[in-house]
Amino acid sequence: MRSIPGLLSLLLLLLPCVGGAQEAWGRQPALSRSLLALEDNIGVATEARDPFATRVTGEVLLGSLAGAGGALAGGLVGLVIADAVTCGVDECLDGVGYVGGGIVTGIALAAPIGVYFAGRMMGGNGLFLPTLAGSLASGGLTALTLSAMSRSISPVGVLLLALSPLVGSIIGYEVSHAFVGQRGQSAAGGLQVLPTAGVTRAGTGVFGLAGRF
């Protein structure tokens, strides 16, 4: 009989532990729901990103890096040409013109490469030739405009000459991307013909074509 009071005392001591376990078990579904809600919010935020803005950001970054490399290479080529056909860069203004022309040409040729590869890596469907054409057209138009306005090029003009090929490359790539997308949608929504087969009530087989316009 002495064991019964001892057993009751042990049960009374264990009751708080059982209650704490039940409380923790009741909190677990709430914690799981919170984690699931956070995961859903992250998924929605990821899907809400604008693919155009993300792609253009990558094109600006990689196009700028490629344009910087092209500027360096073009400037070195212009320097070599200036030393070979003029009185040099330090003593002759024509030599500076060769170096500047080499820098602008290097940017115009290299920036479209970076823009094109960045667009492709971001899931774009643009074409390289329109990207290159946009760079050359933008750079050439800017150079002609600045030369027509003034003989001497200001720092603002130099900045415009450096940025215009990059802007033209992005425009050319995005226009070709939109054109390829529209052409793909038109092809998908065009004429579709599928073979069909069936059996009439009399048991005769019927074969034909079904089309969607």
Q: CA-CA distance, 120 to 176, in Å (whole number)?
A: 12
Q: CA-CA distance, 157 to 166, in Å (whole number)?
A: 15
Mean pLDDT, residues 91-104 taken together? 79
Nearest 5 degrees, angle CA 60-CA 122-CA 160?
Answer: 15
Is pLDDT at 151 greater than 60 in this prediction?
Answer: yes
pLDDT band per the 50, 70, 90 thresholds, residue 74 = very high
The 8-class DSSP code of residue 4 comes to H
Is pLDDT at 86 greater than 50 in this prediction?
Answer: yes
Confidence (pTM) = 0.64
**CB within 8 Å of 65: residues ≥ 6 apart:** 114
Looking at residue 118, its pLDDT comes to 95
Contact 78, 99 (CB under 8 A): yes
CA dist 64 to 105, 132, 189, Å? 14, 15, 38
pLDDT digits (tens, 9 = 90+) for 31-59: 455 545 655 554 444 444 568 899 999 99
